[in-house]
Amino acid sequence: MDALNSFKLNIEVSDKYRSNKNKRARTKKRTTTEKRTSIDNTSTVRLCIESAKRYTSKREWIRNDPRSHNMAKKLGIIPLCSRNFPTLKSWDKTSCFNEALKYTTRTQWYKSSPSSYIRASHNKWLDECCTHMITIRKRRSLGECINDAKQFSNCSEWRKGNPNSYRAAQFHDGWLSECKKIFE
């Protein structure tokens, strides 16, 4: 009987401990919410809006002042704070094509307007949008790779001396072995 009573006593003590622990947690929550009065919220809202006005984009705001962004997020005022940020353009096929017409190479287009370039790439419009552009990359043939390899005495010199030709030979099946026959 003593063992049963001690077991019940342990359960009662642990239940009391749990209830006291929960009361402490609840009181902590109350005190933090009580600190947030409507006056504090309005000043915090004002501070968040002023902080956001200093930046030109939401991304810049998050990078430079993450605390005010997080506070605005907690208060649910992100739309209010980000009113001054420009809205992002949605890229459809015609707008991507019109944007691509401004540039002569893919690299220029990507550097100047990466969002439109990426959208065209994801939607597989890239080749269609770039038909007017000049190609800078030279496509090599097997004969050109062999002629380039002949200028060097061994394979490692060829790889160091003309890496573009060597990579082209690596990329195509069997070209590298054909080119290496020169060095034998």
- What's the angle, vertex CA 62, arms to CA 58 and CA 67, rounded to 5? 135
Looking at residues 134-148, what average pLDDT do you find? 82
- Whether this prediction's pTM lies above 0.75 is answered by no
Range of the domain at 164: 142-181
Q: Do residues 75 and 97 share a domain?
A: no
Instruction: Say if CB 161 and CB 151 are below 8 A apart.
Output: yes
Same domain for 101 and 122, yes or no, is: yes
Instruction: Report d(CA 38, CA 45) in Å as an integer.
Output: 10
Instruction: Give percent of the chain with pLDDT exceeding 70.
Output: 77
Assigned domain for 123 exists:
yes
Residue 153: DSSP 8-state: S
pLDDT at residue number 137: 66
* Mean pLDDT calculated for residue range 149-164: 90
pLDDT single digits (tens) 100-131 = 999 999 889 999 999 999 999 999 999 999 99
Is residue 25 one of the residues assigned to a domain? no
Q: What is the pLDDT of residue 44?
A: 84
Same domain, 56 and 75: yes
Domain-located, residue 108? yes
Cβ count near 172 (within 10 Å): 13
Residue 30's pLDDT is 46
**3-class secondary-structure state, position 139:** coil
Residue 2 has pLDDT above 80, yes or no: no
Residue 54's contacts (CB-CB under 8 Å, 6 or more residues apart) are: 61, 64, 65
pLDDT tens per residue across span 24-55? 555 555 444 444 444 467 788 888 899 999 99
pLDDT at 14 over 50: no
Instruction: Give me the number of domains the chain comprises.
Output: 3
Residue 93 confidence (pLDDT): 92
Burial of 180 (0-12, 13-18, 19+ CB in 10 A): middle
pLDDT computed for residue 123 by the predictor? 93
The verdict on 84 and 114 lying in the same domain is no
